[in-house]
């Protein structure tokens, strides 16, 4: 494993996973920005909407954890999104220090526009890969995340768990 360690004499950037992760993330980010801008979204808003679509009402700190972003950055993003009518916020009934965020109908429509605008990126990203290869890639990335930050690794596993169906008309409870 020494060739994967930057301080090793055997090191090669072409065999360094973080080199490829950084490159993939950079290209992904550029393409996502270009695709989202025409539909009135940016990457931080996209992430917030996507997290809310998967998990329902969430606290600002939970969104920050899943987005791997600073709490102050997510707070500003949520405030901007609230002003744009994409989300609503409320103080938690259980803890007055916690702000809960819920996607509005305008947010759902914006997310759908974002999904349509970016679908070609995801299709192209995984061309030539089998479902098994993508699953193994995800497993490896989960392991690396867990190695770096068990808290973020657990959050990723929790987000991947199937959510029980919610009773009709009770979609805002969590």
Over the stretch 18-76, which tens digit does the pLDDT of each residue have?
A: 999 999 999 999 999 999 999 999 999 999 999 999 989 999 999 999 999 999 999 99
Domain that holds residue 86: 40-125
**Domain CATH for 49:** 1.10.10.10
Asked whether residue 114 is domain-assigned, the answer is yes
Does the residue 8 lie in any domain?
Answer: no
**Is the residue at 92 inside a domain?**
yes
User: Which pair of tokens denotes residue 172?
Assistant: 């805002």
Across the range 114-128, mean pLDDT stands at 96
pLDDT at 150 over 50: yes
The Cα–Cα gap between 19 and 132 comes to 23
Q: Give the whole-angstrom CA distance, residue 35 versus residue 47.
A: 14
pLDDT band at 156 (very low <50, low <70, confident <90, very high): low
16 vs 22: CA distance, rounded Å: 10
60 is a domain residue: yes
pTM score: 0.80
Domain for residue 164, yes or no?
A: no
pLDDT at 37: 98
- pLDDT at residue 162 greater than cutoff 70: no
In this prediction, residue 106 carries a pLDDT of 98
Domain count along the chain: 1
């Amino acid at each position: 494993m020494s060739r994967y360690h930057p301080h090793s004499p055997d090191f090669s950037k072409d065999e360094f996973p973080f080199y490829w992760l950084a490159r993939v993330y950079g290209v992904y980010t550029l393409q996502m920005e270009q695709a989202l801008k025409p539909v009135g979204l940016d990457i931080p808003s996209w992430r917030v909407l996507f997290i809310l679509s998967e998990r329902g009402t969430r606290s600002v700190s939970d969104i920050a954890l899943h987005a791997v972003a600073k709490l102050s950055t997510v707070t500003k993003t949520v405030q901007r999104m609230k002003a744009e009518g994409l989300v609503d916020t409320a103080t938690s009934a259980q803890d007055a220090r916690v702000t809960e965020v819920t996607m509005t109908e305008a947010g759902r429509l914006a997310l759908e526009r974002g999904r349509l605008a970016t679908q070609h990126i995801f299709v192209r990203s995984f061309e030539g890969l089998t479902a098994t290869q993508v699953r193994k890639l995800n497993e490896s990335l989960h392991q690396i995340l867990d190695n770096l930050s068990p808290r973020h690794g657990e959050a990723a596993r929790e987000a991947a768990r199937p959510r029980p169906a919610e009773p009709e008309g009770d979609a805002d409870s969590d």
